[in-house]
Structure 1
């Protein structure tokens, strides 16, 4: 029942590719991002397209952890300042609007962390710290992913951020009850 069909085959491909991408994340890069996130005054997140969805979900969980988090492009987002951290999620690291907003954050004195598949990108060059989620090979050719370009990065980013939340939950001492109490009640 359902084990050998086309959906099961696709499911295996997707989950294997995400696992392969996440196992290549450098532990030191992940730890540096956790430290920067938990030690800053406020966290701002930025991305475009499906990368934005992944990093926006992370901002939600940071709020549940009791941290102050904002989505950079929301109309209610306050001014970024020294002591703040901007976390940028971009597979290519070259999205023009994202690069421009990142430059504004740097001019305002904020630190910048970039989660990207492209460590030699414009965004990575501006960052205080970079986490590489590999979707591309070392020669920047597309990886062996059978999914549409960018899809693996976006999936891996969402799961990567959830892994960080699990670690940070222990780091900040937030219980599931604490997190649930901060969950929206306007649903």
Structure 2
């Protein structure tokens, strides 16, 4: 049955153009500092909630493929965080309670915090050592809770991106995934990783 809707191709191209617009506005100094934080860290931990959490997990997996010691906060095998470790946080609002609390703990433990966000002036942004700004946060309406968990429970989930013609558009999460993959590509160059090395770390029992 044919459904009347926007052209899927047009929606894909629209989303791609929005991500490109976001990418062109990324501060290259911020991106370079994020890269330096990853390279100099003893271990890299990642944290995020919802779709941002999935981006964080994908980033941790890619880092492992490159030979970094990376962990996802909240997993059962994640070891204790210590000074010298880096916490890479992905949060469009920078206010999600669980992510804020994790960052505060990491900060108190003497670790480094690198935040990827749409809201650099957020609670996490104020304590982060490095902040990469992707797009602009539009979760500023007083009737929309900033806390991800509250939005999920009350059915008020909105992406930290502008509303456009695309239903449920999530430019921040998509741009964050592209940014994370760009960091991985840069790390491959810095560490002179070969495809054979990376393939040797791909999961073979799952």
Query: Structure 1 length normalisation: TM-score?
Result: 0.91
When residues 31 and 135 of structure 1 are mapped into structure 2, their CA distance, relative to the original with a 3 A threshold, is same
When residues 125 and 150 of structure 1 are mapped into structure 2, their CA distance, relative to the original with a 3 A threshold, is farther
Higher relative CO (Cα under 8 Å, sequence separation at least 6) belongs to 1
**Distance in 1 of aligned mates of 2:56 and 2:165:** 24
Does 148-157 or 91-100 show the bigger shift? Answer: 148-157
Structure 1's consecutive aligned runs of 4 or more residues displaced over 2 angstroms after TM superposition are 139-150
Residues 100-148 of structure 1 deviation map (CA, whole Å, 9 limit, x = unaligned): 11111111111001000001100100100100001347x9996364445
* Corresponding residue for residue 30 of structure 2: 29
**Distance in 2 of aligned mates of 1:149 and 1:128:** 31
C-alpha contact (below 8 Å) 1:93/1:121 kept by paired residues: yes
**Distance in 1 of aligned mates of 2:74 and 2:95:** 17
Q: Let me know the Cα RMSD of the aligned residues.
A: 2.0
Paired residues, number: 182
* Corresponding residue for residue 8 of structure 1: 9
**Distance in 2 of aligned mates of 1:146 and 1:95:** 26
When residues 112 and 104 of structure 1 are mapped into structure 2, their CA distance, relative to the original with a 3 A threshold, is same
Q: Does 1:162 align with 2:162?
A: no
Structure 2: segments with no counterpart, 5+ residues: 1-5, 142-159
C-alpha contact (below 8 Å) 1:91/1:116 kept by paired residues: yes
**Distance in 2 of aligned mates of 1:20 and 1:144:** 15
* Corresponding residue for residue 174 of structure 1: 193
**Distance in 1 of aligned mates of 2:56 and 2:110:** 21
Query: Structure 2 length normalisation: TM-score?
Result: 0.83
The alpha-carbon deviation at position 165 of structure 1 amounts to 0.5
When residues 132 and 146 of structure 1 are mapped into structure 2, their CA distance, relative to the original with a 3 A threshold, is farther
C-alpha contact (below 8 Å) 2:161/2:171 kept by paired residues: no
